[in-house]
Structure 1
Amino acid sequence: MSIVTKPITLHLNGKTVGPVPVPEGIMMVDFLHEYLNLTGSRLGCGQGVCHACVVILDKPDGSSEEVRSCITGAHYFEGKKVRTVEGIGQKNEKGELAGMSAIQQKFLEHFSFQCGYCTPGFVNAATVLLERLKREPVARADVERTISSALENHICRCTGYVRYFEAVKDVVLGTPGLVKEGA
Structure 2
Amino acid sequence: MSADADTQGLRSRPLRLTVNGRAYGPVEVPDDMMLIDVLHEYLGLTGTRFGCGQGVCRACTVIVDDERGPREVRSCITGAHYFHGKRIRTVEGHARRDDGGRIVELSPVQQAFLDHFSFQCGYCTPGFVNAATVLLERLRQRPVARAQLEDAITEALNPHLCRCTGYVRYYEAVRQLALDTPGLVSDAEPKERGS
TM-score, normalised to structure 2, is 0.88
**Structure 1 equivalent of residue 30 of structure 2:** 23
Q: Kindly tell me the number of residue pairs found equivalent between the two proteins.
A: 181
Deviates further, 131-140 or 16-25? 16-25
1:145 aligns with 2:148: no
**1:27-81 CA deviation, whole Å, 9 max, x = no partner?**
00011001011011100000010000000000125x1100000000000000011
- Where do 4+ consecutive residues of structure 1 move more than 4 Å? 94-97
**1:65-103 CA deviation, whole Å, 9 max, x = no partner?**
0000000000000001100011112357x7965311001
- Partners in 2 of 1:142 and 1:39 — Cα distance? 35
Structure 2 gap ranges (5+): 1-7, 190-195
**Structure 1 equivalent of residue 39 of structure 2:** 32
Alignment RMSD (CA, Å): 1.6
- Partners in 2 of 1:179 and 1:91 — Cα distance? 29
- Partners in 2 of 1:118 and 1:171 — Cα distance? 19
1:22, CA displacement in angstroms? 1.1
- Which of these two proteins has the greater Rg computed from alpha carbons? 2
**Structure 2 equivalent of residue 50 of structure 1:** 57
**Structure 2 equivalent of residue 104 of structure 1:** 110
* Matched ranges for 1:122-133 at <5 A: 122-133=128-139
**Structure 1 equivalent of residue 193 of structure 2:** none
Structure 1 gap ranges (5+): none
- Partners in 1 of 2:9 and 2:145 — Cα distance? 56
User: Partner of 2:53: helix, strand, or coil?
Assistant: coil
The percentage of counterpart residues that share the same residue type is 60
Deviates further, 170-179 or 81-90? 81-90
* Matched ranges for 1:31-180 at <5 A: 31-61=38-68, 63-90=69-96, 97-180=103-186
**1:11-33 CA deviation, whole Å, 9 max, x = no partner?**
11011111111111100001100
1:3, CA displacement in angstroms? 2.5
- Partners in 1 of 2:148 and 2:177 — Cα distance? 15
User: Partner of 1:86: helix, strand, or coil?
Assistant: helix
User: Partner of 2:54: helix, strand, or coil?
Assistant: coil
